[in-house]
C-alpha cells in the first residue's frame, strides 16, 4: 500500500490559531495531568501525609519531561491512558512513584484537566471577542450618522444608519459576552472526590478526618486556579457544565452567522464588503467576482459549532448514575472542535471588521431610490399645511406612487414619483419644496443617538475593563 498522507483535521490545517491548537494538544493535556499530581501530592503533604519534599521536587522537575513513545507502549499494555501516564511519570520520578495519584481516580486528572482547558479556552475566546467588539465599536461610531436603507423581510423599509445596523450585530456579541463571563466565572472544579465522588479513599488516607479531606479538596482546587468547586460529583463532574460552556460558544456562533449573512447580502447590494486582498481571486472562472469568502467561512464554521452544542445535552442526559464511559469519545471530539471552530470564527471576524469597505455613494443611491415613497407622508402633511385636503392628497399620492412603482418594476426605469408629484396641479408644492422634505437625515430617527447611548452605556464598560487585551494579529491561512 502506498504511503499516503494520513487524515488531518481541517480545523488544525486551515482554521484554528496556534494558541487554541496548543490548548488541546497532548503536551498541554499531559503536563496538566502532572501539574494536578503535583498539586495533589503537595496538598496531601501539607495536610500531614508521609510525602517528602524530595518527592515533590522530583515531580516538579519532570513536569515537561514526557516520553510519549513510552506512554503509548504503556497504554497498549494496560489499555488505560491514566495508568500509562502514571507509569511514564514514575519512570522519570522513581522516588515519587509510590505517591503519584495517591487516593485519586482517573477522573481526577481527566475531568479536572478538561475543566482547566475549557476555562483557559474561554479566556482566549474572551480576548478575541473583545477585539472584534472593539473593531465594531469604531465602525459603528464612524458611520452612526450615515443614512442607509433598512430592510424588513429583505424588502425596503424605513431608513436606519450604517452604524446603527452595525450595533445590531454588536449588541448580539454584548449579550454573548455576558453569557461567556457568567460561564467562565461559574465553572466549578471537580476537585478531589475519589472513585464515585464520595471521597472515601481520601477519608481512609486521613484516618476519618472529614475536615482534612474537605481542606484537601479546596487546596488542590485553589492551586489549580479555581475558587468554585463542586460539592457533589459522581465519578465525573456533571456534564451539565459542558452544556453551559458549549451553549455559550454556540451563541457566539449564532451571532457571527447572523452578522456574516448580513454582510454577504450587503456585498450583493454593493453597499458593504469584507476586505479583498490585492491578489485574491474571487472565482476561478469569473475573474470579476469579489466573493465574500471570509463571511461564508464564518457561516460554515458557525453551523458546525451550533450542531456540536447538541452533543453535551445528549451526553449529560444519557449518563447513568455516577458515570458511564459513553461520554468519553464524544467529548474528546465535540469540546475541542467547538473551541477550535469558534476560535477560527473570531479570527475571521477580527480580520473582516478590521477592514470593512463601505460604498457610500451606492448606499446613498439606494436610499434616494426608495426615499420618495417613504417621504409621501411628509408631503401629505406639508400639503395640508398649504390648505390641501388630507384625503384628496392621500389619493393623489397613492395613484402617482402606483404609477411610479409600475415604472420601476415593469419597465426597469428610475423612480420618477417626485417629478410626477411636482407636475400634479393638485399638489401645492413645487419640485424644490418637495426635495427639501427629502433630506435622508430626517428619516433615521434616533439612530445616531442610539449608537452613542449603546456604545457609552454597554460597550465601553466591557472594553475598558479588558483594555489590556486589545490588539491582536491574525493569520487567515486560506
Check residue 471 and give its pLDDT: 94
pTM comes to 0.92
What does CATH list as the number for 21-99? 1.10.275.10
- Residue 313 C-beta-side C-alpha neighbours within 13 Å: 7
- Would you identify the CATH topology of the domain 106-278+287-362? Fumarase C; Chain A, domain 2 (1.20.200)
Dist CA 7 CA 247 (whole Å):
29
Own/partner pairs, 85-89, CB within 8 angstroms, 24+ separation: 85/30, 85/33, 85/109, 89/34, 89/37, 89/59, 89/62
Minimum mean pLDDT range among 153-167, 231-245, 272-286: 272-286
Dist CA 16 CA 298 (whole Å):
12
For the chain, what is the mean pLDDT? 93
**What are the angstrom distances between the C-alpha of 158 and each of 87, 122, 248, 417, 420?**
70, 39, 33, 17, 22
The answer to whether the beta carbons of residues 93 and 85 sit under 8 Å apart is: no
- pLDDT of 305 strictly over 90: yes
Check the CA dihedral 436-437-440-442 and report its sign. positive
- Report, as an integer, the average pLDDT of 177-189: 98
- pLDDT of 202 strictly over 60: yes
- pLDDT of 261 strictly over 50: yes
Provide the grid cell at 40: 495533589
> In this predicted model, what pLDDT tens digit does every residue of 349-369 receive, in sequence order?
999 999 999 999 999 999 998
**What are the angstrom distances between the C-alpha of 433 and each of 378, 418, 422, 439, 443?**
11, 11, 9, 11, 17
Dist CA 476 CA 275 (whole Å):
12
Check residue 25 and give its pLDDT: 96
- Report, as an integer, the average pLDDT of 325-329: 91
Minimum mean pLDDT range among 39-48, 124-133, 169-178, 326-335: 326-335
- pLDDT of 288 strictly over 70: no
Check the CA dihedral 227-231-237-241 and report its sign. negative
Provide the grid cell at 336: 475541542
Query: 401: pLDDT confidence band, cut at 50, 70 and 90?
Result: confident
Nearest 5 degrees, angle CA 258-CA 261-CA 266? 125
Residue of 80, 204, 210, 283 with catalytic role:
283
Residue of 349, 361, 350 lying closest to 271 (CA atoms): 361
Is residue 153 annotated as part of the catalytic site, yes or no?
yes
- pLDDT of 283 strictly over 70: no
- pLDDT of 204 strictly over 90: yes
Q: Which residue has the cell 452533543?
A: 311
Question: Would the CATH topology of 106-278+287-362 be identical to that of 376-437?
Answer: no
Check residue 47 and give its pLDDT: 98
3-state secondary structure of 251: helix
- Report, as an integer, the average pLDDT of 459-468: 97
Check residue 287 and give its pLDDT: 42
Beta-strand pair 155-161/147-152: antiparallel
- pLDDT of 372 strictly over 90: no
Check residue 284 and give its pLDDT: 43
- Report, as an integer, the average pLDDT of 2-30: 89
What does CATH list as the number for 376-437? 1.10.40.30
- pLDDT of 278 strictly over 50: no
Query: 3: pLDDT confidence band, cut at 50, 70 and 90?
Result: low
Check residue 72 and give its pLDDT: 96
Minimum mean pLDDT range among 25-34, 113-122, 124-133, 374-383: 374-383
Phi, psi of 291 (to 5 degrees): -65, 140
Check residue 272 and give its pLDDT: 97
Check residue 277 and give its pLDDT: 62
The answer to whether the beta carbons of residues 99 and 318 sit under 8 Å apart is: no
> In this predicted model, what pLDDT tens digit does every residue of 24-73 receive, in sequence order?
999 999 999 999 999 999 999 999 999 999 999 999 999 999 999 999 99
Residue of 108, 115, 312 lying closest to 196 (CA atoms): 108
- pLDDT of 285 strictly over 80: no
Chain CA centroid to CA 229, Å: 26
Is residue 447 annotated as part of the catalytic site, yes or no?
no
- Report domain extents, the chain: 21-99, 106-278+287-362, 376-437
Residue of 6, 8, 153, 284 with catalytic role:
153
Amino acid at each position: 500500500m502506498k504511503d499516503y498522507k494520513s487524515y488531518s483535521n481541517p480545523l488544525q490545517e486551515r482554521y484554528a490559531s496556534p494558541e487554541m491548537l496548543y490548548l488541546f494538544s497532548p503536551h498541554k493535556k499531559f503536563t496538566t495531568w502532572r501539574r494536578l499530581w503535583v498539586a495533589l501530592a503537595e496538598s496531601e503533604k501539607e495536610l500531614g501525609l508521609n510525602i517528602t519534599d524530595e518527592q515533590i521536587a522530583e515531580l516538579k522537575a519532570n513536569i515537561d519531561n514526557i516520553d510519549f513513545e513510552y506512554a503509548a507502549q504503556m497504554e497498549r499494555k494496560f489499555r488505560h491512558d491514566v495508568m500509562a501516564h502514571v507509569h511514564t511519570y514514575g519512570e522519570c520520578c522513581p522516588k515519587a512513584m509510590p505517591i503519584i495519584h495517591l487516593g485519586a481516580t482517573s477522573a481526577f486528572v481527566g475531568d479536572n484537566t478538561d475543566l482547566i482547558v475549557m476555562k483557559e479556552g474561554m479566556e482566549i475566546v474572551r480576548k478575541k471577542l473583545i477585539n472584534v467588539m472593539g473593531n465594531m465599536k469604531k465602525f459603528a461610531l464612524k458611520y452612526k450618522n450615515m443614512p442607509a436603507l433598512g430592510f424588513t423581510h429583505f424588502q425596503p423599509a424605513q431608513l436606519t444608519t450604517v452604524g446603527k445596523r452595525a450595533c445590531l450585530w454588536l449588541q448580539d456579541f454584548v449579550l454573548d459576552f455576558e453569557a461567556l463571563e457568567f460561564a467562565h466565572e461559574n465553572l466549578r472544579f471537580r476537585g478531589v472526590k475519589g472513585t464515585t465522588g464520595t471521597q472515601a479513599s481520601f477519608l481512609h488516607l486521613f484516618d476519618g478526618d472529614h475536615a482534612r479531606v474537605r481542606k484537601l479538596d479546596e487546596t488542590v482546587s485553589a492551586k489549580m486556579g479555581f475558587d468554585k468547586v463542586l460539592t457533589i460529583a459522581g465519578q465525573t463532574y456533571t456534564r451539565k457544565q459542558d452544556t453551559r460552556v458549549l451553549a455559550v460558544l454556540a451563541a457566539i456562533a449564532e451571532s457571527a452567522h447572523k452578522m456574516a449573512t448580513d454582510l454577504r447580502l450587503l456585498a450583493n447590494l454593493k453597499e458593504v464588503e469584507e476586505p479583498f486582498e490585492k491578489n485574491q481571486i474571487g472565482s476561478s472562472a469569473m475573474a470579476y467576482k469579489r466573493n465574500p469568502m471570509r463571511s461564508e467561512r464564518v457561516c460554515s464554521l458557525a453551523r458546525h459549532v451550533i450542531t456540536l452544542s447538541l452533543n453535551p445535552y445528549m451526553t449529560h442526559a444519557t449518563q447513568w448514575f455516577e458515570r458511564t464511559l459513553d461520554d468519553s469519545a464524544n467529548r474528546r471530539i465535540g469540546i475541542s472542535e467547538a473551541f477550535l471552530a469558534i476560535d477560527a470564527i473570531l479570527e475571521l471576524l477580527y480580520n473582516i471588521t478590521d477592514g470593512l469597505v463601505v460604498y457610500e455613494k451606492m448606499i446613498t443611491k439606494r436610499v434616494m431610490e426608495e426615499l420618495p415613497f417613504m417621504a409621501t407622508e411628509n408631503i401629505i402633511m406639508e400639503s395640508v399645511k398649504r390648505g390641501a385636503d388630507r384625503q384628496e392628497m392621500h389619493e393623489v399620492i397613492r395613484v402617482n406612487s402606483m404609477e411610479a412603482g409600475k415604472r420601476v418594476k415593469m419597465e426597469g426605469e428610475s423612480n420618477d414619483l417626485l417629478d410626477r408629484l411636482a407636475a400634479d396641479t393638485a399638489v401645492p408644492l413645487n419640485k424644490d419644496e418637495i426635495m427639501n422634505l427629502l433630506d435622508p437625515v430626517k428619516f433615521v430617527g434616533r439612530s445616531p443617538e442610539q449608537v452613542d447611548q449603546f456604545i457609552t452605556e454597554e460597550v465601553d464598560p466591557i472594553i475598558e475593563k479588558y483594555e489590556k487585551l486589545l490588539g491582536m494579529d491574525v493569520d487567515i491561512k486560506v
